[in-house]
Amino acid sequence: MERNIILITGACGQIGSVLTEALGERYGKSAIIASDIAEPIDFDGLFEYLDATNYDSLEKIVVKYGVKEIYHLAAILSAKGEECPTSTWRTNMDSLVNVLEVSRRHRIRKVFFPSSIAVFGKGAPLHDTPQDVHLDPSTMYGVSKAAAENLINYYHKKYNLDVRSLRYPGIIGYQSLPGGGTTDYAVDIYHKAISGEEFVCFLKQNATLPMIFMDDAIRATIELMEAPRESLSIHTSYNLAGISYAPENVAKSIRKYYEDFKMIYKPDFRQQIAESWPRSIDDSSARRDWGWKHRYDLDDITRVMIEKLKEKNAAIV
């Protein structure tokens, strides 16, 4: 059997940088081609500059390395996407069409595509949002993800392409910084707490959203990609849940370590986006089909975030 060479787009992003490391550890660094439009910092694997909206550039890399799997993570997120909706649509959709086309033409074995809780809007129940529900997203990011889910399902049905996808909640990790999302506060807050600074939160104190710890999100991605194809019943994107909480809950959890931690609330346009998203997610299809179960609750996340960020800071000083 030919070697399973894996291409990752958006490899310098919040999820991409951690997933690239995790896949390298699992399948060997020489099997992983990281790509992005930004240069990676401190990366010692194979890296290619790639703007995935350009089909020829993507195809060149696929052919050059004999790529067999693609994790397509490059995208513009919810808050940033509202600054220029048309380029968000183009970036998110053109790159996906290119990935699906190159996969079909070059017999790529498996593709991973990240969707998001942003696909849900006012038409979906707020609590335990089901897998199959009306999607009326409020942001261009969500619109592009909802369209993308239909597109990957089309490639599955028409070309039998093995595309797998998760609707990620907000992701919290110490390894990388998010950028341009509505859930970014949940990472930034820990950085402020450990440096003894006040945190100004752009969401209201009770803005509950579905969240997941990075280690759980990475494990979910790898478990889904390694699951037997015949066990998978969802060919749009699987609902994925970790835990649900609001900014006031994180502040309370942080105060177990930093009792003087101060947080003030200055909600901006991102509050409206948060209000259009679910409070909690029903991920029973993922649990049934490939045995998904999250491991980290809020206090576990806080403990690890504080421990690891302090270690990182100590290493810099």
Catalytic residues: 141
Looking at 54-62, 176-184, 236-244, 247-255, which segment touches ligand AKB (CB under 6 A)? Answer: 176-184
Closest among 11, 9, 46, 1 to 28, alpha carbons compared: 46
Give the up-direction half-sphere exposure of residue 120: CA atoms within 13 A in the CB hemisphere. Answer: 29
Q: Answer yes or no whether residue 88 interacts with ligand AKB by CB under 6 A.
A: no
Tell me how far apart the alpha carbons of residues 123 and 243 are, in angstroms, rounded to a whole number.
22
Compute and round to an integer the Cα radius of gyration of the chain.
19
Q: Of 303, 269, 308, whose CA–CA distance to 181 is shortest?
A: 269
The answer to the question of residue 45 lying near ligand AKB (CB under 6 A) is no
Number of shown-chain residues binding ligand AKB (CB under 6 A): 11
- Give the nearer residue to ligand AKB in terms of CB position, either 5 or 75: 75
Window 296-315: residues binding ligand AKB (CB under 6 A): none
Residue 172 binds ligand AKB (CB under 6 A): no
Alpha helices in the chain (DSSP H): 14-27, 55-65, 78-81, 85-105, 140-159, 185-194, 214-226, 247-254, 269-275, 284-290, 298-316
Q: Does 13 bind ligand AKB (CB under 6 A)?
A: no
**Neighbouring C-beta atoms of residue 106, cutoff 10 Å:** 14
- For ligand AKB, the binding residue among 118, 148, 220, 250 (CB under 6 A) is 118
Residue 221 engages ligand AKB in binding (rule: CB under 6 A): no
Task: Rule CB under 6 A: say whether 138 interacts with ligand AKB.
Answer: no
Residue 273's CB is within 10 A of a number of other CB atoms, namely 25
Tell me: does residue 181 bind ligand AKB (CB under 6 A).
yes
Rounded least distance, CB 317 to ligand AKB, Å: 30
Contact segment (CB under 6 A) with ligand AKB among 98-106, 110-118, 192-200, 251-259 equals 110-118
**Dihedral-angle region of residue 95 (phi above 0 means left; psi in -120 to 50 means alpha; beta otherwise):** alpha
Q: Which of 183, 244, 276, 280 lies at the binding interface for ligand AKB (CB under 6 A)?
A: 183
Question: Which residues bind to ligand AKB, rule: CB under 6 A?
Answer: 77-78, 116-118, 141, 168, 170, 181-183
